[in-house]
Amino acid sequence: MPESLFNRQFNINEQQNLLTVMQARRDVRGNRFSDKPIESADIDTILEAANCAPSVGFSQPWEFVLVNNPETKQQVVNSFHQVNQQAKQFNEGKQTEYAKLKLEGIQEAPVNIAVFYRPSKMPVLGQSSMPETGRYSVVCAIQNMWLMARALNIGMGWVSILQANEIKTLLNAPDDAELIAYLCLGHVKEFLEQPELEKLKWEKKKPIKSCVILDSY
Amino acid sequence: MPESLFNRQFNINEQQNLLTVMQARRDVRGNRFSDKPIESADIDTILEAANCAPSVGFSQPWEFVLVNNPETKQQVVNSFHQVNQQAKQFNEGKQTEYAKLKLEGIQEAPVNIAVFYRPSKMPVLGQSSMPETGRYSVVCAIQNMWLMARALNIGMGWVSILQANEIKTLLNAPDDAELIAYLCLGHVKEFLEQPELEKLKWEKKKPIKSCVILDSY
């Protein structure tokens, strides 16, 4: 029996533990994954974490395709390379750095999960004025997965250098499904102390004060 | 000094703690908030949680407006009522139930936070093929806030029955800012054992098996 959640109060150690998981979470790429397989119980826990995410009108509009077939993975890699070829929008110095980055881990990660948004066929409470909250619900589920994976000492990376519709076709997804994210999961050789793009000085960490406004802009 | 995050391994108690926070998190409305104020240290912790969320190309494209002004809150309430009047898309039985639901907690919550997406003026690594990943980064930050708030025994609700552009104007947000979410935070009289819409049988909890596909649809 799971403990009752009713009015469950968390203590300072549990609060600190949560913040540490958030701070220690990384976006993991193919240069960090080890080939140790993921236990199926861990996959179940990660999916359980996804499935208790918030969703607009309790619509739970998420679907998860566990991609294990090596041929399918290779097709996703091909799609990545095709899109990545076109990523020439950085200035000259950054283009050289960009070429050195490992930006996906599709083959290296033992588990890939394509996450889709399946809109409800019925009206959803709270969604009519902000239709994008359906997609946002799926993203909340993805963030739960990311944190749960990290707590299980499993790395996760979100590959966005893809054409969503190409992946949708590859996975034979129905017309009304929309790809939100393509995720790579695996044990890692190491978790970095800082996000890789911070460490490489690609972007600086923003101080929280620069992002907070009191009452009105 | 914070402990080193480098290769931090979490144990089974810490893993279970995270899952419990996720399972105990609720979308809290005005009928549950108490009037106990939120300590500013707790607000800081919730914003710190937001600021360590993942973001596409480490772009950290989030901004948080802490709304305390009672007049502004009243204007947001007015906007809610205007939009809610139009929410007539449910069938007859559900319309009666809908009218009974408390769907926001703008005045009851001591803290409101409007969360905006501020797109980068420069190209962002990984965003050109999936532009919506900028907004999704902001949603990851919101989910971190939701979990951190719950661990601090603080309730949070996401109000989506609003016109985003109206709130943007009210808060004097710049042209390129986009409202992603309007959040209400406060201590609660109680956290419910189940999500309110599940308890009221508005929607059923989906078993995870119904959302998981192996390899291909």
- What is the overall mean pLDDT for chain B? 94
CA distance A146 to B117: 21
> CA-to-CA distance for A180 and A194, rounded, in angstroms?
26
Q: What share of chain B is helix, strand, coil (3-state, %, to 5)?
A: 40, 15, 45
Q: Which residues pair with A178 in a beta bridge?
A: A117
> Hey, what are A150's tokens?
């990290």
Whether residue B178 has pLDDT greater than 90: yes
pLDDT in tens, chain A (217 residues): 455 777 899 999 999 999 999 999 999 999 999 989 999 999 999 999 999 999 999 999 999 999 999 999 999 999 999 999 877 678 777 888 898 899 999 999 999 999 999 999 999 999 999 999 999 999 999 999 999 999 999 999 999 999 999 999 999 999 999 999 999 999 998 999 999 999 999 999 999 999 999 999 9
**Chain B residues near residue A193 by CB distance under 8 angstroms:** 4-6
Residue B36 identity (one-letter amino acid): K
Tell me the C-alpha distance between A179 and A140, whole Å: 15
Residue entry with tokens 């290769």: B7
pLDDT tier at B5 (50, 70, 90 boundaries)?
A: confident
Interchain contact, B49 vs A22, CB within 8 Å: yes
In single-letter form, the type of residue at position B115 comes to V
CA distance B23 to chain A (A): 6
Q: Is the pLDDT of residue B82 over 90?
A: yes
pLDDT, residue A124, reads 95
Q: How many CB pairs under 8 A join A and B?
A: 305
pLDDT band at B14 (very low <50, low <70, confident <90, very high): very high
- Within 8 A of A43 by CB-CB distance, chain B residues are none
CA distance B149 to B200: 24
The pLDDT of B181-196, averaged and rounded, is 95
Question: Which residue segments constitute the domains of chain B, with CATH numbers given?
Answer: 27-190 (3.40.109.10)
Which residue from A172, A170, A204, A167 is spatially nearest to A182, judged by alpha carbons? A167
Distance CA(A25)–CA(A23), nearest Å, equals 6
Indicate the pTM of the whole model. 0.97
**Closest chain A residue by Cα to residue B82:** A129
**How confident is the model over B93-146, as pLDDT tens digits?**
788 889 889 999 999 999 999 999 999 999 999 999 999 999 999 999 999 999
Q: Say how far residue A182 (Cα) sits from the centre of its chain.
A: 7
Q: Are A10 and B153 in contact (CB under 8 A)?
A: yes
pLDDT at B3: 60
Quote the minimal CA–CA distance from A37 to chain B in Å: 17
Spell out which residues of chain B touch residue A139, defining contact as CB-CB under 8 Å: 136, 139-140, 143
Of the candidates B54, B164, B217, which has its C-beta nearest A146's C-beta? Answer: B54
Instruction: Tell me the CA distances in angstroms from A69 to A65, A66, A158, A188, B47, one per residue in order.
Output: 11, 9, 19, 21, 40
Q: How far is CA B59 from CA A110, A170, B18, B123, in A?
A: 28, 29, 26, 10
Residue whose C-alpha is closest to residue B82's, from B180, B158, B161 = B161
Q: Do A148 and B22 touch (CB under 8 A)?
A: yes
- For residue B1, the model assigns a pLDDT of 41
Question: Chain B: nearest CA to A210, how far in angstroms?
Answer: 8
List C-alpha distances in Å: A134 to A161, B118, B127, B155. Answer: 22, 21, 20, 21
Pick the residue of B166, B208, B209, B214 with the most A CBs within 10 A to test the interface with A by mutation. Answer: B208
Exposed, middle or buried by CB within 10 Å (0-12, 13-18, 19+), for B174?
Answer: exposed
* B31 CA: distance to closest CA in chain A (Å): 15
Task: Identify the residue among A51, A65, A88, A133 best suited for mutation to test binding to B, counting B beta carbons within 10 A and taking the highest.
Answer: A51
Interface test mutation site (partner A, options B59, B97, B216, max chain A beta carbons within 10 A):
B216
ipTM of the complex: 0.97
Give the one of A163, A171, A180 whose C-beta lies nearest to B216's C-beta.
Answer: A171
Q: Are A84 and A103 in contact (CB under 8 A)?
A: yes
